[in-house]
Structure 1
């Protein structure tokens, strides 16, 4: 065979080999591509929806602002707050993306005057007349949540789980008030004749601004405080309040009555406080949710996962009961 014939022969062999190799690779790629039928496409879409539902909703879609409020009114003889003895850093770390504000005496006065002096002078006058730091703190938390919204929690509380996990993301879009039981006779037994069988705590509350329960509580508090003073024939800044009168004017007993009235109005199946006894899961009434007693009243064993009676129910906040509110009038 002539040399140029050899060249043509091998050239055709090379072209044929290259074509076969390309065809083989294309076939392999085609086989690796799974066919997408309508069912798998629907499953993919459903999975995407589920993943999106787990993400925290944007601020524009939630009623309760991402804001933490705490209050410190210095007791007699104490001028500054020992921040090392508080849990402010825990609240900040457990609520990334949230604002955090600690309200002191001067900040509180400025907030109340700027927010209510012209629209509700009865509020500013009442606030400035209170001598008991506990009553003043009680009223201020209701005013902050009513006017600004967010999460209020006492200085002697510590979050155990991230704040964004308190409610499912979908519920965050619906809920405008989060409360929890502080006392449940089904769990705690009887303690005091003045304690309700079911009572709501007010050391931790989350609310949307303008929520009717907070507005109702502010009005109840103003009326109750002046009623005690009127019964004594004194001005409010001269009135003396017993522990029970504190509880029933600004404290958890008054708060429980106002919250329950709203739940009963919304839910015809709830006729009395005892209908909320032994609550084992969140109960929704419109945009209001009631959490079980362990939610904001965690115990030391909850921090280590050792509390057997919870039966996998989740404790969210621990209250250390360091506040001394009694006999401060």
Structure 2
């Protein structure tokens, strides 16, 4: 069914980066979870409140399992909404949701296990204020070695935290890429087949996200990007209209870090709870 739908897909035309430069980042914070409880898990007590407290001028919104279908049906063409509502795997659905929200609404997407350390207003250095339309961070860096077997990339970009302006061309491409990945995946699956960890990562997850971003970097610079050029960066790097942050900005871990806790370069902390992994082996 997904393949039939995608033949008539009507993704919006992306906004030109020059036009996006003239628009501010939306002051919105987006999260999703099973429900709208104030403290979603024992490990994330106070996290949603901290997002609102650190960013008082931003609107906070959480999309839940019960209302996500309605959200997508109300805001997207039927071809896209049917793809989304047909998904039964929670993590595939959550990944597609984040990309749809960033494409349509912009602002900040943060997974429920992400804790803010610095206000969103400080994420883009002043020297880049009029040149950045999308902010992503390095999650993992293999120092010029493949990030996963057979991969042409040596870094993995984080998709658990994204700052975007609506209709950014890379995010529009990402939505198109992910929905086509889903169609190919389910061509090979029986209804009773489980989706593996590797399939999640490459279909909707960080591998797919990294692939699209590397292709975008290559397109806007005319130079092939593999992640090697971002190896070990300690300062934000502007590639086209995308600001790429060093690993400690979004991917800081207390046990593996370049900066001590409290350093202003640490913008968010991700707990990597990964509650979905137990159901996706392989």
TM-score normalised according to structure 1 size: 0.70
CA distance in 2, matches of 1:96, 1:226: 40
In the superposition, relative to structure 1, how do residues 211 and 191 fare at CA in structure 2: closer, same or farther (>3 Å)? closer
Residues 266-312 of structure 1 show CA distances to partners (whole Å, capped at 9, x for unaligned) of 12344433222222211112221111111101223799x637xxxx7
CA distance in 2, matches of 1:210, 1:252: 20
In the superposition, relative to structure 1, how do residues 323 and 278 fare at CA in structure 2: closer, same or farther (>3 Å)? same
Matched-pair contact (CA < 8 Å) for 1:73–1:137: no
* Cα root mean square deviation, aligned: 2.8
CA distance in 2, matches of 1:216, 1:91: 29
Unaligned runs of 5+ in 2: 1-20
Looking at CA atoms only, which structure, 1 or 2, has the larger radius of gyration? 1
Residues 77-108 of structure 1 show CA distances to partners (whole Å, capped at 9, x for unaligned) of xx967447430111111112000001102332
Q: Say yes or no: does 1:247 pair with 2:214.
A: no
Where does 1:45-60 land on structure 2 (aligned, <5 Å)? none
- Structure 2 counterpart SS, 1:300: coil
Where does 1:110-121 land on structure 2 (aligned, <5 Å)? 110-116=70-76, 119=77, 121=78
Unaligned runs of 5+ in 1: 1-59
Paired position in structure 2 for 1:324: 275
Paired position in structure 2 for 1:133: 90
Where does 1:55-74 land on structure 2 (aligned, <5 Å)? 62-73=23-34
Where does 1:3-18 land on structure 2 (aligned, <5 Å)? none
CA distance in 2, matches of 1:127, 1:268: 34
Residues 92-147 of structure 1 show CA distances to partners (whole Å, capped at 9, x for unaligned) of 1111200000110233222100111xx3x232112112122111111000000100
Paired position in structure 1 for 2:50: 90
Matched-pair contact (CA < 8 Å) for 2:134–2:242: yes
- Cα offset for 1:171? 2.6
TM-score normalised according to structure 2 size: 0.81
- Cα offset for 1:239? 5.2
CA distance in 1, matches of 2:204, 2:59: 26
Structure in which a larger fraction of residues adopt helix: 1
Give every structure 1 segment of 4 or more consecutive aligned residues whose post-TM-superposition deviation is greater than 6 Å: none
Paired position in structure 2 for 1:8: none
CA distance in 2, matches of 1:216, 1:158: 28
Matched-pair contact (CA < 8 Å) for 1:72–1:81: no
CA distance in 1, matches of 2:230, 2:150: 18
Residues 241-271 of structure 1 show CA distances to partners (whole Å, capped at 9, x for unaligned) of 2111110110000000001100111123444
Bigger relative contact order, structure 1 or 2 (CA pairs below 8 A, ≥6 apart): 2
Paired position in structure 2 for 1:123: 80
Q: Say yes or no: does 1:261 pair with 2:220.
A: no
Of 106, 119, 124, 2:66 maps to 106
Of 139, 142, 149, 1:193 maps to 149
CA distance in 2, matches of 1:84, 1:132: 21
